[in-house]
Amino acid sequence: MRESTIGSPAEIALDCASQPTILYDAEGRIIYANSAAEQWLGKTRDTLAGLESWDVYPPSMRDALEQEYYETFESSKRRTACLADADSGATYNARFTPTPAGICIQFEDVTGMRKEATSGALGIAQFSPIALFEADVAGRLVYVNSAWRALMEAGQNASIDDSWLSALHHRDRDEVSAAWKEAVRQAVPFCREVCLKSGSGAYKWVRLVTQPIVSASGHVTGFSGALEDISERRRAVADVQDLEARMDYAARELQRFAFAASHDLQEPLRVIGTFTELLARANQGKLGSESELFIQHITTGVENMRSLVQGLLDYSRAVHAEQVRPTPVDLTILLKLVLDHLKPQLDATKAQVTFDPLPTVEVNQSRFMQVFRHLLENAIRYNKRQPVIHISAERQDVEWVISVKDNGIGIDPHYHEQVFFVFKRLHSRAEYPGYGIGLAVCKAIIEHHGGQIWVESTPGEGCTFRLTLPVLD
């Protein structure tokens, strides 16, 4: 041992080191062991001198030590590995350093640091099912556990000396590297979803969560952290977003089709209606009763079709949010305009309509007139007695609740949601006219104004339709 090539001063310095230190020559033979190594391994340096066997180390560490030794020798680069002694439960950071004499291995006992979460450590355990690691301030990995190796598809003996930043996808590398440096500078946790290249060459999405390790002097010496594989979740989110985009596109196309079809249908209906009227006038008194009945059916059919097409147009316009141009509107004034428009129907049914003072809100005036018109027409239509209707408003926190109450036939609770579906009718047109579009239009308009609409009703006891609108700032 006195023939060691390291020289007396260096030997004295190593012998005073508190960490076990062992020097190997190029042939893999031990040529020096300090006092700490003697105490740790339970053998004298004279006994260790010249040994080529790795059996002097704890059994669970032997294969990894030998592998790291030869990889350090071949690469001539410093390496670090975290090794666990399964018998004693101790954990060591083994640092392999190339020297002119061979390879120097220094063992640092980090058991206490890994058992207790002190200075930001996460209680890293070699056999934890969670992928755990430690990195220095440059991002170079100094420790990874088995779960990390499995996640990143790195063999148990694969080198971990590279920076995890080098595994980043090129599109994210600059941004994430800058964020990492800022976390080091501020000594704050670093959390990010990143795309890392695994040992197989494939990229994986992982959630990276780290905590800074701060020295007694207050300097950040590294980070301890964990990885979570989120590749499946990212794929699922992407699939959902793609599906939503395709559904949104299909809905817009359907709306455009409904608008175009409804608009284009009006012209042939006008032609049919006009020529039927001309035919009736030209042959007035010349046609038999059966022919006149046929003309009447044509005229009625055209009027019904015209109402249906107009309803489709109203609904198509209502579901186009981009067409909504809200302005401050006094709902009391707006309601009076609607009542003037419905005066013939109100007079014919002797309907009694009362209302409380209504607020000023931000709505599209022409669209919201349709809401009042449809609700009032329904209150008149679905009634077997003299209609009695009351409109009121109540402020609830940051929204107004507008109520339209009637004394009509009411709605079974089973259908309270379905009545807002387009073309949903609860009665035949022989009983009550209409096409089941009005309430669907109301729902679309209210939702595009940031509100909601619902009905409260019991059969035979009338309905109360309630809708919400944001309070005007």
Q: Tell me: pLDDT of 321 over 90.
A: no
Token reading at 5: 């090539």
Query: Which residues, 6 or more positions from 320, have their beta carbon under 8 angstroms from its beta carbon?
Result: 255, 259
Is residue 454 predicted with pLDDT exceeding 90? yes
Residue 356 included in any domain: yes
Angle at 82 between CA 90 and CA 221, to 5 degrees: 105
Residue pair 125/145 in contact (Cβ under 8 Å)? The answer is yes
Residue 94 lies in a domain: yes
| Mean pLDDT of the region 268-293 | 80
Of 109, 140, 170, which marks where a domain is finished? 109
82 in the same domain as 150: no
Q: What is the mean pLDDT of residues 162-169?
A: 78
Q: What pLDDT score was predicted for residue 431?
A: 65
* Domain-embedded: residue 160: yes
Q: How far apart are CA 250 and CA 440, in angstroms?
A: 19
Same domain for 344 and 303?
no
CATH number of the domain that residue 246 is part of: 1.10.287
pLDDT recorded at residue 158 = 59
Q: Measured between alpha carbons, how far is 88 from 42 in angstroms, rounded to an integer?
A: 14
Q: Is 192 helix (H, G, I), strand (E, B) or coil?
A: strand
Return the structure tokens found at 119.
């200075």
Out of 109, 125, 152, pick the residue that ends a domain: 109
How sure is the predictor about 428, in pLDDT bands with cuts at 50, 70 and 90?
Answer: low
- Do 38 and 158 reside in the same domain of the chain? no
Q: Name all contacts of 432-436 with Cβ < 8 Å and 24+ positions apart.
A: 432/381, 432/382, 433/381, 434/381, 435/307, 435/308, 435/311
The answer to whether residue 2 sits within a structural domain is no
Distance CA 469, CA 451 (A): 5
> Which two tokens mark 128?
């934890």
At residue 395 the predicted structure's pLDDT band, cuts being 50, 70 and 90, is: very high
| Across 251-255, 336-340, 356-360, 414-418, least confident range | 251-255
> Per-residue pLDDT for 46 more than 50?
yes
Do 333 and 451 lie in one domain? The reply is yes
Specify the pTM: 0.43
pLDDT for 407: 93
Domain membership flag for residue 3: no
CATH number, position 458: 3.30.565.10
- Of residues 405, 416, 400, the one with CA closest to residue 449: 400
Q: Is residue 1 part of a domain?
A: no
Average per-residue pLDDT in the chain? 80
pLDDT band at 314 (very low <50, low <70, confident <90, very high): low
Whether 269 shows a pLDDT value over 60: the answer reads yes
Is the pLDDT reported for residue 54 higher than 80?
yes
Contacts of 215 (CB under 8 A, 6+ apart): 119, 221
Q: Are 161 and 140 in contact (CB under 8 A)?
A: yes
Mean of pLDDT values over 317-322: 60
93 shares a domain with 29 = yes
Specify the higher pLDDT residue, 467 or 472: 467
Distance (Å, whole) CA 418 – CA 467:
16
pLDDT, tens digit (0-9, with 9 covering 90-100), for 64-83: 788 888 888 888 888 877 67
Mean pLDDT calculated for residue range 298-326: 68
Q: What is the pLDDT of residue 198?
A: 85
Longest dimension (CA), the chain: 138
Query: Hey, is 396 helix, strand or coil?
Result: strand
Q: What is the pLDDT of residues 215-228, one digit of tens each?
A: 655 667 778 888 88
Checking if the pLDDT of 261 tops 80, the result is: no
Q: For residues 391 and 372, what is the distance between their CA atoms, to the nearest angstrom?
A: 10
Q: Does residue 410 lie within any of the structural domains?
A: yes
Band (pLDDT 50/70/90 cuts) for residue 118 is very low
Last residue of a domain, one of 185, 212, 229: 229
Please determine, for residue 34, whether its predicted confidence score (pLDDT) is greater than 80. yes
What pLDDT is recorded for position 331?
95
pLDDT at 116: 47
- 201 lies in the same domain as 335: no
Please report, for the domain that includes residue 72, its CATH number: 3.30.450.20
**What is the rounded CA–CA span in Å between residue 133 and residue 141?**
7
Mean pLDDT (whole number) for 3-31: 71
**Which residue intervals of 331-461 are DSSP H helices?**
331-341, 343-349, 365-381, 438-448
Whether residue 449 sits in one domain with residue 358: yes
Residue 212 burial (10 A CB sphere; 0-12, 13-18, 19+): buried
Q: Binning pLDDT at 50, 70 and 90, where does residue 3 land? A: very low
Specify the residue for token string 């030998």: 66
- Asked whether residue 193 falls in the same domain as residue 304, the answer is no
Does 304 share its domain with 336?
Answer: no
Which residues does 364 contact at the CB level (< 8 Å), separation at least 6?
Answer: 324, 325, 326, 327, 445, 449
The predicted pLDDT at position 263 comes to 65
Neighbouring-strand partners of residue 362 = 328
Task: State yes or no: pLDDT of 124 exceeds 50.
Answer: no
Lowest mean pLDDT among 173-182, 280-289, 366-375: 280-289
Q: Clarify whether residues 143 and 255 are in a common domain.
A: no
Quick one: 196 and 300 in the same domain? no
pLDDT at 102: 87
pLDDT band at 418 (very low <50, low <70, confident <90, very high): confident
Overall number of domains in the chain? 4
Q: Residue 216's domain spans which residues? A: 114-229
Q: Judge whether 464 and 394 are in contact, CB under 8 Å.
A: no
Residue 34 lies in a domain: yes
State residue 1's pLDDT score.
40
**Left if phi > 0, otherwise alpha if psi is -120 to 50, otherwise beta: which for 141?**
beta
258 and 315 assigned to the same domain: yes
Mean pLDDT score, 348-352: 93
